[in-house]
Copies of this chain bind each other. A is one copy, B any other.
């Protein structure tokens, strides 16, 4: 196989396996090339990934060494993406009763969802994460997108137990904005004890739902490794119950009557270098 051909297949191979260790001897055998040639190929790939702003190859040395593809976005692209998203969200036609914002169209676009996943994965790149957790329904695509770039499984919490799931652990929690008592359920076999979990959701107002997931994790002796929300909204009623989190956008000054809304970049951009 020529170098040009090998670069095509190797690029696909590592892009398809984010954060997975791909060993040098394995690649040398798979593509029938000298380890020194493979090393040179990987150096070219690393240089070009960085140049395109899509992440880099991390080198792991030693006998079992190789590379890991760490997906990321460049600072420039991250800013551009978030600002375009803010503009799209600022459309007053998105305003729904109660200060909610219609976002299902955006959350229905696989490429946008993938980009959001990559941004969160960039922001959480230095954390040790075993699983991504979300609550049904709207956070699910985001959770999968983040999990794909972190290369960890997704765990879905439900608001109703389902007969097709087996035994479950459930907790009650108080919804931050409505003060109603609600239930959250997680299938017992879906999360291992002691897991380090990244919580992802589409929307956070007072943070009651996310706090509920945090309490549920305690039941599994698992810990929160990070919290990411697509959109955070102001909540005047009370203080937020969740403090350490990353948000992509912030929804501010929602005015139902005047049909006005402001959407600003969230704190995620501060984390991207």
Contacts and interface: CB of A to CB of B under 8 A. Distances in A.
Interface in A152-181: 152-156, 158, 163-166
15 contacts: A7-B11, A8-B48, A11-B12, A12-B54, A15-B15, A96-B163, A96-B164, A98-B164, A100-B164, A102-B166, A105-B190, A110-B154, A137-B158, A140-B141, A141-B141
Interface in A88-120: 96-98, 100-102, 104-105, 108-111, 113-114
A6 to B, nearest CB: 9
Interface string A14-34: 010100000000000000000
A241 interface: no
Interface of A: 3-5, 7-9, 11-12, 15, 17, 44-45, 47-49, 51-52, 54, 96-98, 100-102, 104-105, 108-111, 113-114, 136-137, 140-141, 144, 147-148, 151-156, 158, 163-166, 187, 189-190, 203
Given A11-B12, A12-B52, A141-B144, 10 more contacts: A7-B8, A7-B11, A15-B15, A104-B156, A104-B190, A108-B153, A108-B156, A108-B190, A136-B136, A144-B144
A59 to B, nearest CB: 17
A153 B96 CA distance: 22
